Amino acid sequence: MPALQSTATPQYTREAFSSLYRSEDMVYIGLRMQREAAQHSALKLGQLGKVMFTDLNEGVTAFNRDFSQQIRRCDEMDRKMRYLQEEIDKTDNITAVVAGEAVEHESFDSLERKIESKESDVRELTNQFESLVESLNT
């Protein structure tokens, strides 16, 4: 992971990072990093649970932001996941298995491919089931 550069050299004590309550001491630090390292670094910082991010692009519309294409892809994956959940809810015989621990880090593209594959499989099975039911009813 590339080295992170700080825009300030803060003086802080260990107690300053005990929690994010307003009454506790905090330090405002600006980080500059390569675009390629930003996603992984933000993930790791977020997992700490002791970081608050500030939006430096408040005046920019949602469609003009740098990561709007990824947000649209996330929305599409969310739609596909809702479809899969609806199909699971339609049946009484399927039990969804939830993993005990979250995956450490999986690439966005591989997750998107898995969801697309599962959605395609379920759509195909649904169409075959509907065709079977229709042929049996005629």
Residue 6, H or E segment: strand 5-6
- Beta strands 5-6 and 31-32, pairing class: antiparallel
Region 70-95: mean pLDDT is 84
- pLDDT for 88 equals 83
Q: What's the pTM value of the predicted model, to 2 decimals? A: 0.51
Helix (H, G, I), strand (E, B) or coil at 54: coil
Residue 128, H or E segment: helix 108-137
Higher pLDDT, 26 or 110: 110
**Which two three-digit tokens encode residue 66?**
């740098």
Name the phi and psi angles at 135, rounded to 5.
Answer: -70, -35
pLDDT at 26 over 60: yes
**Which two three-digit tokens encode residue 4?**
């992170």
**Cα angle: 90, vertex 92, 93; to 5 degrees:** 120
Residue 11, CA distances (Å) to 14, 51, 77 in order: 10, 17, 43
Name the phi and psi angles at 32, rounded to 5.
Answer: -120, 130
- pLDDT for 19 equals 55
